[in-house]
Amino acid sequence: MTPLPQRPRLGFFVSHRGSNMRAIVSACQTGALAADPALLISNNRSSAALSWAAENGLPHVHLSPKSSGSEESLDQAHLDKLQEAGADLIILAGYMRKIGPKVLSAFSNRILNIHPALLPKYGGQGMYGHHVHEAVVANRESESGVTVHLVDGEYDTGPIVAQATVPVLPADTPDDVAARVLVQEHLFFSETLIRIVSGEIDLDALG
């Protein structure tokens, strides 16, 4: 795979709020992360992420199976838009769909997701958002956290890039855990990207 440029261009996939995307864009704007936001793709026409992108000058597009006609056409449309934007690194920031095989192939070892638990625990289809935190509390875990991982063709099974833990206290509700994990997500995704862009983490050695 071609090495990342010194200042990679970031393509984001988001389904809803995009709070992790916003945190990463902020890190780019402050200079903490030497990267440039290039494109937001959302499958949800009414997502808050699309509105935010429009207000903040980030190129954006709504693409879904319905708008594209088929899953295969959607995969090609994703690839076309990412290549037009010159994206080097793909960031899934709360994207609720699988990435198609054409994009997976073209961006091998260049697609990252963040999961709100310590994979391989509490991953897989259906394990997203509050479902994860409810399971963590139900199983009386003493800690949870976040995992940044490379994306493959399945849910949450790609190689782990980095993890950070948060405590789970005996009296915690799923809402308590969710709030603690989200704070960590906003910090840790950017921190991990900084390590990737600086060369401290070699994605090709993981994939």
Q: In whole angstroms, what is the distance from residue 122 CA to residue 190 CA?
A: 22
Q: How many domains does the chain have?
A: 1
Joined together, the tokens standing for residue 127 give 């394990």
- Domain with 90 in it: 9-107
∠ Cα 121 125 128 (to 5°): 70
In a domain, 22, yes or no: yes
| 186, 20 contact by CB (below 8 A) | yes
Joined together, the tokens standing for residue 18 give 């995009």
Joined together, the tokens standing for residue 203 give 């994605």
Q: In whole angstroms, what is the distance from residue 166 CA to residue 144 CA?
A: 5
Joined together, the tokens standing for residue 152 give 């493959």
Per-residue pLDDT at 5: 93
Location of structure tokens 């890039």: 161
In a domain, 131, yes or no: no
Location of structure tokens 């890190």: 27
In a domain, 101, yes or no: yes
Looking at 60, 78, 115, 186, which residue is catalytic? 115
Q: In whole angstroms, what is the distance from residue 164 CA to residue 191 CA?
A: 11
Chain centroid to CA 106: 17
In a domain, 176, yes or no: no
In a domain, 36, yes or no: yes
Task: List phi, psi (to 5°) of 80.
Answer: -60, -45
Per-residue pLDDT at 66: 85
Domain at 49, CATH number: 3.40.50.170
In a domain, 64, yes or no: yes
Is 115 known to be catalytic? yes
Per-residue pLDDT at 207: 79
Residue-wise pLDDT tens for the chain (207 aa)? Answer: 688 999 999 999 999 999 999 999 999 999 999 999 999 999 999 999 999 999 999 999 999 988 888 999 999 999 999 999 999 999 999 998 999 999 999 999 999 999 999 999 999 988 999 999 999 999 999 999 999 999 999 999 999 999 999 999 999 999 999 999 999 999 999 999 999 999 999 999 997
Per-residue pLDDT at 148: 98
Q: Which alpha helices (H) appear in 59-206, and where do they start and end?
A: 65-68, 71-84, 101-106, 130-138, 174-198, 203-206
Q: In whole angstroms, what is the distance from residue 53 CA to residue 69 CA?
A: 25
β-pair partners for 10: 37, 89
In a domain, 119, yes or no: no
Query: Max alpha carbon distance in the chain (Å)?
Result: 50
In a domain, 81, yes or no: yes
